Structure 1
C-alpha cells in the first residue's frame, strides 16, 4: 500500500468557518499566528446559511439575543438590522465580518476534514481529497446542531415523523394537523408557524417553562438586563419573576405546566408570539407522549389527538465526528473542556463553540478566542507564560454557573453564566499577563484587509 505523503505546516488548523471558526481566525490573524481554515460548505456562515445541507435553519428563524448585545466584539451589527435579526441578516453580517478582516484568504471551502489524529507533538489532519497535513494545533469549530436527536415512543404511527432540522417553510404545515414535540426556542418558533398555517397545532411538553418576552418597556429584554442595575441573583430573580407575572399573568391558564425549576435555571424561552397564539386558541399544549397508535397520538393524561405530522424539536447530539472520541473527555454527550475550549488531556487540541450560555455566544467566542490565540502565540514567543497556562488547564476547576442551580440535564451540565465566565477570564488574563479585548484592537487588521465587496444580501 502506498502511504500518502504528509504536508507539514508549522501553524494551526481551524476546522469550520461559522461564527466560532471566524472568531478564532481573527484572533490568530491579529497576532500573526499562521493558520489554515477548512470549511465543508461552499461559503462561510455555518448554520446561518439556510441552503447548507443539514442546517437547522428555517425561514422564520431569528436571533434570540438582540442586535446591540450580540455579534462579534468591536464589530456591531448595523443599525438598519431589526432588534432581533433574521437568519438572512445574520448570514450577511457573518460574511461581512469575514471580508472586513481579510479572513477569506485562509479559508478553503468545499473541503471536508475526515480525520484528526495525534502525531508526535502535533496533529495529522486528513482531508476528503486524500491529502494529509501536519499542524501543531487544531481548533474544532464545527458546531453542535448538525445531528438531530429523535426520541422513540411506544407504538406505531401511520403519519409523518420528522425532526425540526428538516423544517424550512411554514407552508409545509398547510392542510395538516401538526404536533410539535419540545418547547425550546426553536420549538416555540415553529409552533407559532404551525399555529398560523396548520389545520390544527399542538405542542407536547414534559415540563413547564418561564416564558420571557423579547421586549420589556419597548426595549429588547437582554439589552434591558445588560444596562439595568446589576443585582445579586437573590434579588434579581424575584424582581424579574414579579415583573413577568404582572406582564403575563398566570401561564397555566393556557395549558402550560407550572415550571419545576426556578427562573434562570434553564435556558430561557424567549418568545413574544407563543402566548398570543395560546390566547387565541391557534395552538394547544399537550403533555408528554405516552404512545403512538396509528394516526392518533396518546398522551400521558389519557387524551388523544388525530395527527398528520409529528415534528420533533428535541435538540441535537453534540459530536466532533472527525476526532476519535478518546481524544476528548465526553460526559453526558458533552466534551469536558477547560473554559469551554481547552482539552485537559491532549495538548493543542481545542474545541470552540461547545457551550450553552445565557448570553450572546458570538461575544463569548471572541473572548475565549483572544485567550486561545495568546496561548498559541506564547508557545513560540513566551513559553514561560504558555507553561503557566498549561498548569491552569490541568488544575483549575472553576464553577461557571454563577451560583445558579441549572436543571439537572445533559444540556445544562455544559451551561455557563456569561457574567461569571467573563469575570473568571479576567482573572486568568491578569494572572498570566495577557491582553483583554479592547475597542480598536482589530483596527489595523481591518485596514489591511483586501478591498472587496463584503458579504451577500
Structure 2
C-alpha cells in the first residue's frame, strides 16, 4: 500500500490520463477542461458514446434499449436533453445526445481514438505511466472510465445442453428468437426487456427464470415519469408506490413471479410493466431458478422442465479494470473499494468514475464527482494545503451513503449508493473545503462556438 504524504508533488507539467470516452469519461474531461487542467483521453473505439454505441465492441446494447431514467431527470449537468426526446429516450437518442454534448464543449480534440490502454503503473516519483497499443504516456493522474457492463457473468449450470447458450452482452436483434423456444435467465431490467423482445417477436414461446422477486414500478405515475417524485424522502416514495402498486399492479405471484423478499429500493426495482402485460397474456411464462440442463430440456428448481432451443443469460457483469494492478484498489465482493466510489485509498491520483450503482440517473452524479476530482487536482498545484485536507479524507473518511436503506446483501449491491444521500454528502464536502458549488452557467466558458459545433457534426 502506498502511504500518501501530506502534500504530494503535483506533476502539473504532465497531463491527466482519462481511460474511456463514454458518458463518465466525457464528464471527467469537461470538468478538467473547465479548470484548464491538461489531459489526454484514450478511447479504443472510433467515436464517443461508450455502451450507447451499439457498434462499439463489447457494448451490451440491443436495438430496443431505452434509458432507464427519464429524460428530464437525466443528462449532463447544465446540458439538458432535448424536449422532443421521448420521456424514456431510445438508445439512438442517448447516443446522439452524448455526441452532441461532446461537440458542444469541444471535447473531441483531446481524445485519442482507436487507442487501447493495456496497463497503467505508478512510478516511484508518484507520476503514472500509461501503456497503450500506440506507445506510452506519462501522466500526473489516471481516471478509469472504462465501464462496468462488458465483462459478463454466466453461471455454471450442471448437466449438458443441446441448444444454444449465450449472454445478453452478445444480444442485439429480436430476429434471433424467430421460431425458437427461448428462456431468459435473470430478471434485471435488461432481462425483462429481452424477454419482452422474445414475446413480441416470432419466438415459438418465451420463458423467464428468476430466483428472486422484484418490485415493479410503473414508468409513469399520474401521467408523469415515476422518477420525478425523487424529491420525496424514501419513506414517502415507498408509501406512494405501495399504494400505486396495489392499485395498478397487484400481486405478481398470480403470474408465476416470486414475491419480493426485500423492501422497495433495497434492490433495483423493475420499470417494465410491459413484462407483466406479456405474463398476463401468456406470451411469457415465468419459471423459478434453473436447477440443471438435461439435453434438450431445462430442469427448474420446482422439478418442472421445458424443452428450450436458446438460453440467454441476463445475469449481470463483473466489475473489471484489467489495466490497473489488482492491489491498487482493495476489492470486496468483486467491486473496487474506493472513497466515494471514485478515489483510490491506496494510490495517489488514481480515480474511478462510473463504478457505482445508484437508484437514479448516474449522469449528473458523474458531473458532481468529476468536479470534486478536478478541484482536488487543481488544488494540488494552487492550494496544496487544501489538497492535503482532501487527501486525508480519502484515507480516513468513511461516510454512510445508503440513505438509511439496507441494500440486499449481494456483491452487486456492495457498490450501491442512495442518490439523495450521495448528493447531500458531496454538497457538504464542497462547502467544508471551500470549493465552488455547481451552478447552471459554470461551463459556459468552454462551450464551442456554433460554427465549430456545426463543422464537427459534418466531420463526424
TM-score (norm 2): 0.95
How much does 1:226 deviate? 2.8
Cα distance in 1 between the residues matched to 2:91 and 2:241: 29
1:107 to 108, 111, 116: 111
Task: Note if 1:39 corresponds to 2:43.
Answer: yes
Cα distance in 1, alignment partners of residues 30 and 144 from structure 2: 15
Q: 1:61 aligns with which of 36, 60, 65?
A: 65
TM-score by length of 1: 0.95
Aligned-partner Cα distance in 1 for 2:92–2:448: 26
**Could you tell me how far 1:345 is from its partner in structure 2?**
1.1
**Residue deviations 1:387-445, cap 9 Å, x none?**
11011111110010100000010001100000000111111101111111101111111
Is the 1:9–1:134 contact (alpha carbons within 8 Å) kept by the matching residues of 2? no
Per the alignment, residue 127 of structure 2 pairs with: 122
Q: Which residue of 2 aligns with 1:22?
A: 26
Alignment partner of 2:182 out of 178, 181, 184: 178
- Residue 242 of structure 1: CA displacement? 2.1
Take 1:35 and 1:42, find their aligned partners in 2: how far apart are those partners? Answer: 19
Q: 2:144: which partner in 1?
A: 140
Structure 1 equivalent of residue 260 of structure 2: 259
Q: Which residue number in structure 1 is paired with residue 90 of structure 2?
A: 86
CA contact (8 A) 1:92 1:455 kept: no
Is residue 403–residue 420 contact of structure 2 (8 Å, CA) maintained in 1? yes
Secondary structure in structure 2 of the residue aligned to 1:290: strand
Deviation at 1:11, TM superposition (A): 1.7
Q: Residues 161 and 294 of structure 2 are in contact (CA less than 8 Å); yes or no, is this contact kept in structure 1?
A: yes
1:77–1:236: structure 2 CA closer, same or farther, 3 Å change rule? closer
- Between the aligned partners of 1:234 and 1:334, the Cα distance in structure 2 is 28
CA contact (8 A) 2:18 2:29 kept: yes
Equivalent residue, structure 2, for 1:411:
412
Q: Is the 8 A contact 2:106 2:448 kept in 1?
A: no
Q: Which residue of 1 aligns with 2:363?
A: 362
Q: Report what 2:323 is aligned to.
A: 322
CA contact (8 A) 2:103 2:448 kept: no
Q: CA deviation at 1:251?
A: 1.1
Q: Distance in 2 between matches of 1:394 and 1:435?
A: 23
Alignment match of 2:158 (pick from 154, 157, 180) = 154
C-alpha RMSD of the superposition: 1.4
Aligned equivalents of 1:258 and 1:244: distance in 2? 13
Gaps of 5+ in 1: 1-7
Alignment of structure 1 residues 32-431 onto 2, 5 Å: 32-120=36-124, 121-129=126-134, 131-197=135-201, 198-223=203-228, 225-226=229-230, 230-231=232-233, 233-431=234-432
Counterparts of 1:431 and 1:138, CA distance in 2: 25
Q: Is the 8 A contact 2:51 2:60 kept in 1?
A: yes
Runs of 4 or more off by more than 2 Å in structure 1?
A: 233-236, 447-450, 452-457
Cα deviation, residue 267, structure 1:
1.2
Q: How far 1:449 sits from its partner (Å)?
A: 8.0
User: CA offset at residue 240 of structure 1?
Assistant: 1.9
CA 1:15/1:9 → structure 2, altered by over 3 Å: closer, same or farther? farther
Question: What is the deviation of 1:239?
Answer: 3.3
SS across alignment from 2:206: strand
> 1:448, CA displacement in angstroms?
5.7
Aligned residues between the structures: 445
- Asked if the contact 1:101/1:449 (under 8 Å) is kept, the reply is no
In structure 2, distance between residues paired with 1:349 and 1:18 = 18
Q: Could you give the per-residue CA deviations for residues 311-365 of structure 1, whole angstroms, max 9, x where no partner exists?
A: 0000111101111111111111101010111101100011000000001111100
User: Structure 1 residues 9 and 441, CA, compared in 2 at 3 Å: closer, same or farther?
Assistant: same
SS of aligned partner of 2:262: coil
Secondary structure of 2:109 counterpart? helix
State the SS of the aligned residue for 1:201: strand
Query: 2: CA distance between counterparts of 1:344 and 1:48?
Result: 31
Cα shift readout 1:173-203 (whole Å, capped 9, x = no counterpart): 0110000000000000001001112110000
- Post-superposition shift, 1:452? 2.9
User: Secondary structure of 2:238's match?
Assistant: helix
Deviation of 1:244 after TM superposition, in Å, equals 1.1
